[in-house]
Amino acid sequence: KDSKHAGWSTESAAELDWQLGRWKNVLPQQLRWEDDEPPPSDINAARLRAKYYGARYIIHRPFVHHALHPLVPHGTYPVLPEDGSAQLAGRLSNQSSPTNLAALPANAAFEPTGRRKSGMAMAPLEPVAGVVDKSVIDACKSCIGAAIQSTKAFHGVRGRPIVTNIFGTAHAQFGNLLVLQAAYRSQLLRPIVHPDDLKYLMEETIQFFKHLSPISPTLRIDAAILESSMKTLDFNQALVNPSPVIYNSFGEHSSGAPSPFVSAPLSNSR
């Protein structure tokens, strides 16, 4: 069934995910793998897994955006003064370092579509934990799992990975970690992201970026952004199982059921 609350059809995502799984199942025996296997040491096997999990991540990523930015009734968005956007632009232009996240104003956010209503800046929306379609949560779990697997796909390869575009590969991992951080900061999605996994992936990726920084100023900035954001994360907070209110496709809801999404650390990824 399609979620009334999501612009991307859950049926479409399920179909694409099924087709991707069928492709994986018909691979030659020597190329097949299980999701719980450690990252391969062979570069071609690592590239294959990275492409597979990257595709799965893209299929389900719109649902993570929806869970982080729930829709609200028209006209209920809080707004800033009309000159709020100008003030924000001025503050950003005066920043000496693009990675000083702490210097950004708390209201540096816009509505989920990325658009801004004429004449006003949008104040950030606080996600309403638990008020979301169960199919969206399932898709979020698939997206987050794929982001983790895609990011660590090359961790078993010694030395610099031989890929067609090392910048593209590295910058994709940067995007993965931004999504994982956003999910970890969300009360609704936090149980899906284990803190040990996130910390490990960030540390490994930062070192990888620093190794490449002499040939890419962009990756040097990416590494600085990750280091800055990592300082704002609490990796010691306990995993909490929320008791979500789940809305089905007909707008009915039920509550009181414990969340089935309790992640465990990926011990075989170390």
pLDDT at 47 (0 to 100): 92
Residues whose CB falls within 8 Å of the CB of residue 139, separated by 6 or more in sequence, listed in order: 10, 13, 60, 63, 64
pLDDT at 71 (0 to 100): 60
At residue 70, does pLDDT exceed 50?
Answer: yes
Name the DSSP class of 215. G
pLDDT at 72 (0 to 100): 54
* Residue 114 Rama label (left phi>0; alpha psi -120 to 50; beta): left
| Run of H or E residues at 247 | strand 246-247
At residue 111, does pLDDT exceed 90?
Answer: no
Structure tokens at 25: 């199942």
Q: What is the pLDDT of residues 11-27, one digit of tens each?
A: 889 999 999 999 999 99
Higher pLDDT, 149 or 242: 149
Q: What is the pLDDT of residues 225-263, one digit of tens each?
A: 999 999 999 887 655 444 343 333 323 333 333 333 333
For residues 180 and 129, the answer to whether their CB atoms sit within 8 Å is no
Residues 180, 236: Cα–Cα separation, whole Å: 16
Q: Percentage of the chain with pLDDT > 70?
A: 61
Residues 152, 143: Cα–Cα separation, whole Å: 14
pLDDT range class, residue 130, cuts 50, 70, 90: very low
Closest CA to 91 of 69, 112, 106: 106
Residues whose CB falls within 8 Å of the CB of residue 122, separated by 6 or more in sequence, listed in order: 77, 78, 79, 80, 109, 110, 111, 116
Residues 85, 93: Cα–Cα separation, whole Å: 12
At residue 52, does pLDDT exceed 70?
Answer: yes
Give the global pTM. 0.67
pLDDT range class, residue 8, cuts 50, 70, 90: low
